[in-house]
Chain A
Amino acid sequence: MAAPAFNNALVRWIDHRLPVFSFMHHELHEYPTPKNLSYWWNFGSLAGIVLVLMILTGVFLAMHYTPHTAFAFESVERIMRDVNYGWLVRYMHMNGGSAFFIIIYIHIFRGLYYGSYKAPRELLWILGVVILLLMMATAFMGYVLPWGQMSFWGATVITNLFSAIPLIGDSVVTWLWGGFSVDNPTLNRFFALHYLLPFAIVGAVVLHLVALHRFGSSNPLGIDVKGPQDSIPFHPYYTAKDAFGLGIFLILFAGVVFFAPNLFGEPDNYIPANPLVTPPHIVPEWYFLPYYAILRAIPDKLLGVIAMFGSILVLFIVPWLDTARVRSAKFRPTFRKFFWVLVVDCFVLGYVGANPPEGWFVIVGQVATFYYFFHFLILLPVLGLIERPLPLPQSISAPVLKPAEGKA
């Protein structure tokens, strides 16, 4: 990269010794980006901003929080009542978690629709799945910290899943708990890890960006950038577009934080944890409901746990399961239909996960679970081989309609 000529002498002096300004200029300013990115491409930068928001609010919450079973619940309420604007910081953090998952899920489905995971972006995709896994672990442990009824019983149920491991299962669970039940040592370590893992996420995000900037963003047409006429510099074009998207997000986010802060929460978590009283209906946070449905769809505990983790792990091999050579669903009419079936399927799983596993919920949950794996393991490879994609445009700047118009 050729160092740009900076006007400021101090900047030049620093950049000569520590080329941070050249780096930023190269990666943010001139970084060539396809000119046809839609608003679906906003969610990556949005996720990054929410990650920063979560870390900042989280650091301030940690200054007032007490990770002890006897004080955790009240310390959270102290933040809500006596810490200046503590309610604001806590509600931003609490709803920020939900916002993060909404954004990430849209980001993932965007990748699935436009085939963003295909060569040469397989590692970019895999790093994204790693980020999802880290987020899930972080969110799960964060939900335990307020030490309400759902915190405690959620932690009990989820950690107990590990007891399904043959032979060493029970020992693993005891090891995870740091004792013989979910108790103070569990809360302590969850707090430590909840503070640690976000920085691991930051690390994974940096790698995700390095991988992204190697080949640049994919785009709605799914064809490669053929030359300078197909791309525009990231700044000011996409900084302006992302800023507008951020504004829309903040309006929605503020609407929830200020006017319906407990929209995504469970009332039961405002009851202090009580190991002697089981809530009538234990449910995880909404963003875990589809996995929870998969877990419960399978009558065998070990197989259920395997299926639940498998539902994420299968994402790692999606770049190789999808045999289609065309990236974007725009040119794959059959795949496009099945994509939307998958989206509906995930909502059905979420709905089933929110309800007790009885009556027709059991059957629907099993069918939806089957379809989830069917989509990835059977449909993706087969469809790629038999589907005839629509003709691709010549380049990003020469849209599909051009040749047809030329003929007319």
Chain B
Amino acid sequence: MRRLISAALLLLAFGTAAEAAESTKPPAQHWSFSGMFGTFDRAAQQRGFQVYKEVCAACHAVNLLSYRHLRGIGYQEDDVKAIAAQAKVMDGPNDAGEMFERAGRPSDKFARPFPNENAARSANNGAYPVDLSLVVKARVGGANYIYALLTGYGTAPADVKIADGMSYNAYFPGRQIAMPPPLNADGVTYQDATKATIEQQARDVTTFLAWAAEPELEARKQMGLKVLLFLIVLTGILYAAKRKVWAGIH
């Protein structure tokens, strides 16, 4: 612990701006959910869920989501039941004291790809695929960063040496990332016949993850508009009242 603390203080003292400056700033994208009137694009969210399920879920968990939350991106109750039922969930102990596997239910959390961090690391060359529930909120640049990262793979400049099993990504701090390029063109087949380019998949899955991080976003902005409207009228009345009360004072 002592060493940890001195390491922390050392980091504090010298900072790591050099490392941060090594990555490229993600360009701003247009998102349907940004701005005061922003809402999530339902079709993009569902496509993004498909990308997550078929690609990301092989390594990344979304620990904070339950299947029931999928109602929030436009799935009906029966759809949610069907999606949940595809998962195998360990339950128990039963009356005989044994654990058993059953089909998932809407109240279950999303199935995890690995039982624990050690299993995840051992399967991924020592790197830990982070939980994606909050990743859009937990990174500087938010959705722009996630999109840039997913589309930012490329060949390293000649002067950059990439370690074994690492990939070059201009947007990742340090520019070396353990995650191989996750998306391939037509890697998923969209049900709504949208062409599954890498950019399209990245945009869709980012929309899905933005919702996963802030499922309250639409309710929040809608309530916010009403609250602001009310407060502006109220404050106008309060100003008029103040003027009237103070009219005789000089």
Q: Which of A213-221, A263-271, A379-387 contacts B (4 or more CB under 8 A)?
A: A263-271
Chain A 244-288 interface mask (CB, 8 Å, partner B; 1/0): 101110110011011101100001101100011010111000000
Q: Provided the pairs A156-B5, A232-B249, A270-B134 are in contact, do residues A243 and B36 lie with their beta carbons within 8 angstroms?
A: no
The answer to whether A241 and B246 have CB atoms under 8 Å apart is yes
The answer to whether B11 and A237 have CB atoms under 8 Å apart is no
Kindly state the separation between the CA atoms of A97 and B17 in the bound complex, as whole angstroms.
Answer: 28
The answer to whether B14 and A356 have CB atoms under 8 Å apart is yes
Kindly state the separation between the CA atoms of A247 and B216 in the bound complex, as whole angstroms.
Answer: 25
Judge whether A81 is part of the interface by a CB distance below 8 angstroms: yes
Note all chain B residues with C-beta closer than 8 A to A35: 249
Judge whether A88 is part of the interface by a CB distance below 8 angstroms: yes
The answer to whether B140 and A81 have CB atoms under 8 Å apart is no
Note all chain B residues with C-beta closer than 8 A to A157: 8-9, 12
Judge whether A74 is part of the interface by a CB distance below 8 angstroms: yes
Identify which of residues 4-61 in chain B touch chain A, using a CB-to-CB cut-off of 8 Å: 4-5, 7-9, 11-17, 19-20, 36
Name the CB-closest residue of B to A253. B231
Name the CB-closest residue of B to A239. B245
The answer to whether A280 and B4 have CB atoms under 8 Å apart is no
Note all chain B residues with C-beta closer than 8 A to A77: 64, 133-134
Note all chain A residues with C-beta closer than 8 A to B140: 267
Chain B 107-128 interface mask (CB, 8 Å, partner A; 1/0): 0000000000000000000000
The answer to whether B224 and A254 have CB atoms under 8 Å apart is yes
A228 shortest CB reach to chain B, Å: 13
Judge whether B94 is part of the interface by a CB distance below 8 angstroms: no
Note all chain A residues with C-beta closer than 8 A to B216: 80-81, 87
Kindly state the separation between the CA atoms of A276 and B224 in the bound complex, as whole angstroms.
Answer: 39
The answer to whether B238 and A237 have CB atoms under 8 Å apart is no
Query: Which one of B138, B215, B228 contacts A255 once the chains associate, using CB atoms below 8 Å?
Result: B228
Judge whether B100 is part of the interface by a CB distance below 8 angstroms: no
The answer to whether A243 and B8 have CB atoms under 8 Å apart is no
The answer to whether B228 and A281 have CB atoms under 8 Å apart is no
Q: Provided the pairs A243-B242, A268-B138 are in contact, do residues A358 and B14 lie with their beta carbons within 8 angstroms?
A: yes
B12 shortest CB reach to chain A, Å: 6
Identify which of residues 6-48 in chain A touch chain B, using a CB-to-CB cut-off of 8 Å: 35
- 16 pairs of residues in contact across A and B, judged by CB atoms under 8 Å: A81-B69, A88-B223, A156-B5, A240-B245, A241-B242, A251-B235, A255-B228, A258-B225, A258-B227, A259-B224, A261-B220, A270-B213, A278-B8, A296-B12, A355-B15, A356-B15
